[in-house]
Chain A
Amino acid sequence: MTGLLSFKHGVHPSENKDITSSIASKRFPFPKEVILPLSQHIGTPAKSLVKPGDHVERGDVIAEASGFISSAVHATAAGIVKSIELWPHPNGTMVPSIRISVDPSSSQMRRTRIVPRWQDVKDEDLSTEIGKAGIVGLGGAAFPSHVKLCPPKDQPVDLLLINGCECEPYLTSDHRTMLELPDQVYEGIRIALKALGITRAVIGIEANKPDAIEMMRKTKPDDLDVTVQPLRVKYPQGAEKMLIKAVMGLEVPSGALPSAIGAMVQNVATAANVAAVFESGHPLIERIITVTGRGIRKPGNWKIPFGTKLRDVIEHCGGFTEDAAEIVFGGPMMGLGQANLDVPILKATGGILVLSKDECKRQDILPCIKCGKCLEACPIFLNPQLMGALAKAERYEELKADANLNDCMLCGSCSFVCPSNIPLSQLFAMSKTQLRRLPSS
């Protein structure tokens, strides 16, 4: 697989995508209850617009964005608002959430169009409409898409990169999106290009998805200047900086946004959902989610309404196998471990992974033998060995000032390769949190 475009360093975890890659996505049944946290991603929490007892239809706005980096929340099923209370969130905290008991007698038909056709929207208002429709990046960080579509004025974007890498092992939701909804992906690209006022896009897809590459090539509309670019299979190829490096050969300057070199990256699922929102006239209320791992009895790809509880998903997918050991929201490299089966599915949840005991064996942590494998793995060219030592010694300020902790994107490559099983990326995540808690000088 040499000769394909890629980036330097990185790791090769077992892909395990064959568990679900050939299973077509299906609609998930509506649960009895949906839980919609007011804070689903980075940025300011949304402001609730409903009170207990209110009746809501599927797709209604129930919380509005407050501030620029914020996104609206919509009812993902018709029913009655039961309460607004603290509820367990996938990030491990308790977050104010709107609880809706789903009306079992409702047909779950949506109201007539509440999002205008994109053709009827002025180019400069497209990003506002995208924000109102609650669209966030579906690649994992769930950064509000309308913010990305408004790059700083002094940093004009001239290339749109569509991220179809899906470099996280196990996950296949982006893969299925490209196979099942290629026209929507292109429609989304068309809208994003229009919003950005540019003409050129590149779709980067890892070479382990030849069917998706072929599908995207086959369905490309003639009037769009889009290239489908196969990329080397390597983790974290789907990281924004790595994708840009592979496709454009440029490094995003440390501490800067991709727009600094004229690029913007959008996930394929985001593109497809942008199109779906304008096409159907309804906000973002569901997405394709991969339910996989050897700890779940019936793996598959499902179109699940946000707010569905983890418990309901597990139950519908046949329950746990006997050796199920660990539940993860997202992929195995960067996903969040889940302890509570009551947590709801969020916009950023691309996968639910149930790992069996064999898949997530943990070994004892041994002393660092300075083998240097972490330096060879780090895609950002950090020195995780030194950083790990500093983090253990709680020398957080040095970690930030001298060891460039801020550039670490917590991809987990260093922890993955460490032969002594030192939890490097966990130490770095902790250090970042500790630094945020320090009084700023």
Chain B
Amino acid sequence: MTDSSVKITASPHVRSAESTIKIMWSVVISLIPVVAASIYFFGPSAILVLLASIAGCLLTERLFGSTPGSLADGSAMITGLLLGLTLPPGFPLWMAFLGGGFGMAFGKIIFGGLGQNVFNPALVGRAFLQAAFPVAITTWPAKTQHWWALQGDNFALPFMSPVVDATSSATPLGNLKFGDDPVVTPVIDLFLGTTGGSLGETSALLILLGGIYLAWRGHLNWHIPLSIFVSTFVISGLFFALGISQFPPLFMLFSGGMMLGAFYMATDMVTSPITNKGCWLFGFGIGFLVVIIRVWGGLPEGVMYSILLMNALVPFINRATQPRLFGTSRKKKKEAGS
């Protein structure tokens, strides 16, 4: 090494091994069991829907993303995967593709790309699909006889109404809320995933494992899922005990998009609060809204809207939960401010 080849950088001269790219891809990796389970339960349709949604996201990021290399950071992949997992297996592929593109473009890129968005892009995509195609997105075809048979209307042509399967089955949440003969699906079925529903809504167990793995790696703020579960359990338990709602608290936790939402959507670092205290508030708000929407709303499921609503409050939560500066007390700060 000579004088001219010396590298000069500012301190610190060493860095932790953590990287944003590693975090993103470890989220993708932790979803592999969930994806595998969806394929096991729903057959090739699951792969097709996931691929369509991922393709929509990746293509949009590639075409309109802020930097040419932004595909490599893995965030578009996560959005595609997560959006796909919220869709029913028989969902028309062109719609899944469109949803992915919309979520990326209007949920993320329009805000300035990675790190700038306010709302979870996968949920923006899903909200768009829910508004645009309310029938298709709430159609869960009855299980086919053979594993390899396609479900529902995957290959429906664009802008042609999908043919609703005559023997569509209801999800556990829809059944309990709108069914003619409401039954509470046993929690063990919900836990293992042997029920109808969207691709990633079925096996609570695998999502839980993926989430625990991420929390252990430090790639997920465990305060968020925990506070969502606690608040959902407590509030829905209260309503159930008072006879106001027909949803038992455990059923609340393990049904619908609760697990996927709590572990993978609400914990999106970009759209969740930056302080741990803020994360508690954020999770509590989500749990509260989920119970309200599920019990009184016009929809069977409320996780998506709860998270999107709380996403909008994140800047305020951040502002309200700034850390206390070392060597100051909260009291003094107030005195100084008044």
Residues in chain A within 8 A of chain B (CB atoms): 11, 13-14, 169, 241, 251-256, 295, 320, 324-328, 330, 332-341, 353, 355, 359-363, 366-373, 375-376, 378-383, 385, 404, 407, 410, 412, 415-421, 423, 425-426, 429
Contacts and interface: CB of A to CB of B under 8 A. Distances in A.
A407 B325 contact: yes
Interface string B3-28: 10011111111111011111100000
B14 A332 contact: yes
B323 interface: yes
Given A326-B8, A368-B115, A369-B115, A383 B323 contact: yes
Q: Which 4 A-B pairs have the closest CB atoms?
A: A412-B12, A367-B115, A426-B10, A254-B327
Interface string B95-115: 000000000000000000111
A379 B274 contact: no
Contacts of A341: 3, 6
A375 B3 contact: no
Given A367-B114, A370-B115, A420-B20, A407 B326 contact: yes
Contact of A254 (B9, B20, B218, B326): B326
Nearest to A245: B326
A345 B213 CA distance: 48
B278 to A, nearest CB: 9
A254 B115 contact: no
B214 to A, nearest CB: 12
A359 to B, nearest CB: 7
Nearest to A295: B1
A381 B116 CA distance: 24
B325 to A, nearest CB: 5
B312 to A, nearest CB: 15
A421 B15 contact: yes
Contacts of A325: 1, 7
A273 B308 CA distance: 62
A225 B136 CA distance: 79
B8 A332 contact: no
A252 B325 CA distance: 11
B11 A333 contact: yes
B269 interface: yes
B274 A337 contact: no
A418, A419, A423: residue with the most chain B Cβ atoms closer than 10 Å: A419
A367 B113 contact: yes
B323 A375 contact: yes
A20 B15 CA distance: 21
Contacts of A252: 327
B8 A369 contact: no
Given A337-B9, A369-B115, A416 B1 contact: no
Contacts of A327: 6
A355 B11 CA distance: 13
Contacts of B269: 369-372
Contacts of B8: 326, 337-339
Nearest to A261: B327
Contacts of B270: 369-370
B130 interface: no
A383 B15 CA distance: 19
B189 interface: no
Contacts of B116: 367
A253 B14 CA distance: 30
27 contacts: A13-B12, A13-B16, A241-B326, A253-B327, A326-B6, A328-B13, A330-B11, A340-B3, A355-B14, A360-B7, A360-B13, A363-B19, A367-B116, A369-B269, A371-B269, A372-B273, A372-B274, A378-B323, A380-B327, A381-B323, A383-B274, A383-B323, A417-B18, A418-B15, A419-B19, A421-B15, A425-B11
B13 A337 contact: yes
B9 A360 contact: yes
A359 B13 CA distance: 9
Contacts of A415: 11-12, 15
> Binding site of B, secondary structure by majority: helix, strand, loop or mixed?
loop
Contact of A419 (B9, B18, B274, B275): B18
Contacts of B114: 366-367, 369
Most buried by A among B8, B14, B73: B14
A416 B14 contact: yes
A421 B3 CA distance: 26
A380 B19 CA distance: 24
A350 to B, nearest CB: 14
Contacts of B6: 326-327, 338-339, 341
B84 to A, nearest CB: 22
Nearest to B10: A426
A353 B218 CA distance: 30
Nearest to A378: B323
B221 interface: yes
Nearest to A293: B13
Contact of B326 (A251, A334, A371, A410): A251
Contacts of A368: 115
Contact of A416 (B16, B19, B325): B16
Interface string B60-88: 00000000000001000000000000000
Nearest to A255: B327
B77 to A, nearest CB: 15
Nearest to B278: A372
Contacts of B10: 337, 423, 425-426, 429
Contact of A355 (B13, B16, B325): B13
B325 A380 contact: yes
A416 B115 contact: no
Given A326-B6, A334-B12, A337-B11, A381 B113 contact: no
Contacts of A333: 11-14
B14 A14 contact: yes
B322 interface: yes
Interface string B299-315: 00000000000000000
Contacts of B9: 326, 337, 360, 362
